[in-house]
Amino acid sequence: MRIEFTVDGKYYTLSVSSDKPLNLLLSDDLEIKSTSFACSGRMCGLCVVLMDGKAVLSCLVPAFEVRGKTITTFDGFSKTRDYRDIEKAYSSMQNYPCDRCRAARSLLIESIVRRYEVTGGDFDSGEVLAEAALIDCDCMDSDGFLKVVRESILNRRKRKNVRRA
């Protein structure tokens, strides 16, 4: 099967099996190594990427679902101003993810921040914690994670408001 998609701002066309998982497309075909996958599809959450801005477990996304999509890996995301909003939140809250889950957790937070940036709705702790359960790592407690997410949202809003002024 032939698929066309964008990864970290670069357009790709690949011929692959339609059921090949996205994490293997990234690592084997595109040689992107920031997407970890320790669980072989049993949902450790370390393979999170953004697909059209939403966090997904790349080990569960077959190639046919990637067609026409925009994928953001931690490699690409870590070079953006948006990532700095999250890094600033980790620092100001003095709550850092471990090296094992930092990439996946940062992309998950970005997905949440984008959703609140678009909807502007009230912060729903239960919804955010349900999403946090995607990542099977206990390096951050629930309260700490929520604080980092809230601070990331505030950082993004402040930065965007300064730019508009």
Q: Could you read off the pLDDT of 26-78 as tens digits, one per residue? A: 998 998 877 766 666 567 889 999 999 999 999 999 999 999 999 999 999 99
Burial of 43 (0-12, 13-18, 19+ CB in 10 A): middle
Residue 118 has pLDDT above 80, yes or no: no
Cα–Cα distance for residue pair 75/35, rounded to 1 Å: 8
> Which among 13, 158, 4 is positioned nearest to 66, based on CA atoms?
4
Quote the domain boundaries for residue 36: 2-73
CATH code for the domain of 15: 3.10.20.30
Which of these three, 49, 73, 97, is where a domain ends? 73
pLDDT band at 117 (very low <50, low <70, confident <90, very high): confident
pTM of the model: 0.92
Which of these three, 44, 73, 102, is where a domain ends? 73
Exposure letters 129-147 (e unless 16+ CB within 10 A, then b): eebbebbebebbeeebbbb
Does residue 115 share a domain with residue 65? no
Does residue 160 share a domain with residue 97? yes
Does residue 127 share a domain with residue 69? no
Residue 122 has pLDDT above 90, yes or no: no
* Rounded average pLDDT over 100-106: 94
Which of these three, 73, 92, 110, is where a domain ends? 73
User: Given this model, what pLDDT does residue 44 score?
Assistant: 85
Q: What percent of the chain has pLDDT above 70?
A: 93
Does residue 97 share a domain with residue 23? no
Containing H/E element for 72? strand 70-72
Domain count, the chain: 2
User: Given this model, what pLDDT does residue 162 score?
Assistant: 66
Taking the CB of residue 2, how many other CB atoms lie within 10 A of it?
10
* Rounded average pLDDT over 116-134: 87
